[in-house]
């Protein structure tokens, strides 16, 4: 019995020692890995990193530019085929303009892409301060990749995504990383290879990165890196399209005079009220207005621009009737015109009778929002409502 207890004690002891050694191993490997990347004090002193180089995609080489900050923001300009691609990430969300993907206008990154941009934006090795950042690591063992001895380490991020890093067992620098990447918005496995490590201002950075995902192949050869350049944080935010900027004058608080077209053929004042128009997102302005038109009308008016259709869309939600109307249109010189669109296009009566919104007399501090109607498919238009907006001088 005594010998059995002794055996159990020995086995437990070996297990504990083994676990401690294992923990020490991965800590030691990561410590050497971080050490291999240079002085951490120098890394800590870097606020931003500007990267210039050459990027090869689809076997065509072109300029590459990227900007990273230590807050996890990322911005880059590159070329896919003949198309210039712009992408940005503020650390939590991002956008891309990718004509290769048929998006010549900014679109938001999906969750898979956000994970990709978390990787792209990695300022230093992801193993630096991994515990503080909520990462977990697991040593998968020593392996051979392409004839090179490597330590394989699984790194899991707080978002639930994980990567496997292969650190060169001799240099402790990263050799390869297997992670999730995105292509046309879809997730899939990628292999990244790191080479051409150079020391810049005492820190060590891979100047060559090759990445394959699906059948794609991308190569980046960095040519120049600058540190602590001034960064315009606006760069990372979803850009307002040039088209939405034309409606930017709407933003603000307005006094509004409400007139209706009388049977006598003249405007008749119904109410004076106020309105608030604010940016809800970079591509959407939202107006909230309440006025009397016999009954109380509570309206939310949504202005946006759909780049793929090259049209502005206005959605008017009426809280009184719990109904909404959709308008599509564009600027015509100094006037904005949007015609009502019906979702049920088969209704012929609706095709002939619909409304039109006109924004006119846009002076910056005033404009007119007019509603007209037609009963003969636009051959003749009859005035219906007129809202005259005067910008409020003071906030209320």
Partner 1 sequence: MMKILNHLWMITSVIFIYTLTGLSQNSNSESWSQFRGPHGDGVSTEDLSQINWAETQPTRLWKKEIGPAFSELIVSEGVVFTMASEQTDSISGFEFVAAYEEDTGDELWRSNVDSIFIEIDGWGHGSRSTPTVDELNIYSLSANGKLTANSKKDGNRIWQLDLVKAFGSTCPRWGYSSSPILVDNQLIMEVGGTDSSAFMSFDKTNGNTIWASANGNASYNSPLLVTIDGQEQIIFANGQKLVAYTSQGDTLWSYTMPFGNIIASPVFIGPNKIFLSGIRNPGFIIVQIEENKATELIHGNSMKNDFSSCLYYNGYIYGFHVASLRCISAETGKVKWTKRGFGKGSLILVDNKLLVLSDQGKLAVVEATPDSYIENGSIQSISGKSWTAPSFQDGKIYVRNLTEAACYTLK
Selected binder of partner 1 within 42, 83, 246, 391 (CB under 8 A): 83
What track of x and - describes contact with partner 1 for positions 164 through 203 (by CB under 8 A)? -----------------------------x----------
Residue 102 CB, shortest distance to partner 1, in Å, is 11
User: With CB under 8 A as the contact rule, which of the stretches 81-89, 121-129, 331-339, 346-354 interacts with partner 1?
Assistant: 81-89
Residue 128 binds partner 1 (CB under 8 A): no
User: With CB under 8 A as the contact rule, which of the stretches 206-214, 241-249, 275-283, 385-393 interacts with partner 1?
Assistant: 206-214
Selected binder of partner 1 within 25, 62, 210, 361 (CB under 8 A): 210
Residue 82 binds partner 1 (CB under 8 A): yes
Residue 148 binds partner 1 (CB under 8 A): no
Closer residue to partner 1 in complex, CB, 37/211: 211
Cβ-Cβ contacts under 8 Å for 54 (sequence gap 6 or more): 61, 62, 63, 64, 220, 221, 223
Residue 245 binds partner 1 (CB under 8 A): no
CA-to-CA separations, 251 to 61, 235, 248, 267, 366, in angstroms, rounded = 43, 21, 6, 26, 11
What part of residues 46-65 is at the interface with partner 1 (CB under 8 A)? 56, 58-61
Give the residues lining the site for partner 1 (CB under 8 A). Answer: 56, 58-61, 81-83, 100, 146-147, 193, 210, 212, 214-215, 217, 219
């Amino acid at each position: 019995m005594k010998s059995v207890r002794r055996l159990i004690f020995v086995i437990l002891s070996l297990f504990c020692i083994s676990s401690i050694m294992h923990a020490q191993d991965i800590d030691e490997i990561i410590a050497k890995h971080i050490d291999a990347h240079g002085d951490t004090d120098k890394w800590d002193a870097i606020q931003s990193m500007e990267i210039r180089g050459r990027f090869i995609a689809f076997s065509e080489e072109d300029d590459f530019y990227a900007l990273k900050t230590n807050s996890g923001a990322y911005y880059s300009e590159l070329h896919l085929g003949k198309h210039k691609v712009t992408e940005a990430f503020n650390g939590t969300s991002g956008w891309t303009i990718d004509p290769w993907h048929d998006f010549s206008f900014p679109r938001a990154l999906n969750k898979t892409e956000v994970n990709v941009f978390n990787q792209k934006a990695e300022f230093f090795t992801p193993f630096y301060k991994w515990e503080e950042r909520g990462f977990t690591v697991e040593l998968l063992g020593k392996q051979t990749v392409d004839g090179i001895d490597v330590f394989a380490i699984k790194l899991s991020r707080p978002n639930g995504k994980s990567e496997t890093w292969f650190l060169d067992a001799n240099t402790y620098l990263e050799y390869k990383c297997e992670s999730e990447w995105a292509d046309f918005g879809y997730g899939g496995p990628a292999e990244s290879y790191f080479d051409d490590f150079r020391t810049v201002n005492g820190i060590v950075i891979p100047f060559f990165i090759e990445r394959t995902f699906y059948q794609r192949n991308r190569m980046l050869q960095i040519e120049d890196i600058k540190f602590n350049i001034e960064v315009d944080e606006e760069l990372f935010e979803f850009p307002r399209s040039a088209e939405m900027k034309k409606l930017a004058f709407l933003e603000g608080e307005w006094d509004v005079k409400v007139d209706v077209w009388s049977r006598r053929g003249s405007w008749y004042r119904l109410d004076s009220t106020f309105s608030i128009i604010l940016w809800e997102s970079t591509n959407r302005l939202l107006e909230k207005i309440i006025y009397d038109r016999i009954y109380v009308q509570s309206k939310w008016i949504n202005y946006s621009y759909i780049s793929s259709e090259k049209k502005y869309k206005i959605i008017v939600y009426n809280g009184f009737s719990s109904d909404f109307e959709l308008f599509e249109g564009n600027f015509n010189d100094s006037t904005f015109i949007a015609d009502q669109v019906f979702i049920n296009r088969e209704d012929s009566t609706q095709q002939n009778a619909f409304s039109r919104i006109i924004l006119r007399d846009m002076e910056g501090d005033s404009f007119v929002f007019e509603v007209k109607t037609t009963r003969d498919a636009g051959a003749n238009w009859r005035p219906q409502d007129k809202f005259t907006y005067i910008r409020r001088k003071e906030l209320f």
